[in-house]
Amino acid sequence: MGLERYADTDAVARALAGDIAARLTRALAGRGRASLLVSGGHSPAQLFDALCMQELDWSRVFIALADERWVAPHEAGSNARLVRERLLREKAAPARFMGLKNSAPSPLLGADAAWDALAKVPRPFDETVLGMGDDGHTASLIPGSPGLRSALDPQAPPACVAMWSRTVPHERLSLNLSALLDSRHISVLILGEQKLRTYRTACSGRSVEEMPIRGILHQEHVPVEVIWAAIP
């Protein structure tokens, strides 16, 4: 799998934002609406800043989350808060956003309702933007989490699943692997030398439970681009 390299985070944000906007525009022209699935964390913040300035009919674009920390939507760790503050503004303000957090007391009890809410988002997702942790997790499919094996089963029905691990703060809700792969195109955005080393390790091994990002990288059904930039 090829790796696109950029000199810095500004360059990668501008380039990837343009590519995503072009794919969404083609989807709007062909199907009348478009869908964008995104993750949270630090990596996509600059991308969101660039993407919200792209010219397209955002009123017909649905945006959803690949995963979420089980925290209130106003808290700093909320992926929904990041999307609202960095993406749903400027030209992208009219986009339709579907979060994952709901009123259930836990991700386990809220998973089905979260997936039902996503039924409003057109699938396959026209564009999915994922990141990757230093441990090889993607979305919130975290090594060592109870239920990880079933969440990584590509034959399982698409769904939201509860994830938890001692290595990360907060319980999580994540789309399972089959839901993530229900996409027309996937971009994996990684930043910095440590993530580059993790990516190379993921490419060289096969155990998906050890590094869940391999479930994205080692499949042949959905086109995947891996985009990397140095951190100044």
Domain limits, the chain: 3-229
The pLDDT tens digits of the residues spanning 59-74 come to 999 999 999 999 999 9
Residue 2 has pLDDT above 90, yes or no: no
The rounded distance, in Å, linking the Cα atoms of 22 and 24 is 5
Copy the structure tokens of residue 213. Answer: 């990002």
**Topology adopted by domain 3-229:** Rossmann fold (3.40.50)
The stretch 135-147 carries a mean pLDDT of 95
- pLDDT computed for residue 170 by the predictor: 82
Q: Mean pLDDT, the chain, as a whole number?
A: 95
Structural contact between residues 173 and 111, judged by C-beta atoms closer than 8 angstroms: yes
Q: Report the pLDDT averaged over residues 111-119.
A: 96
The pLDDT assigned to 1 comes to 64
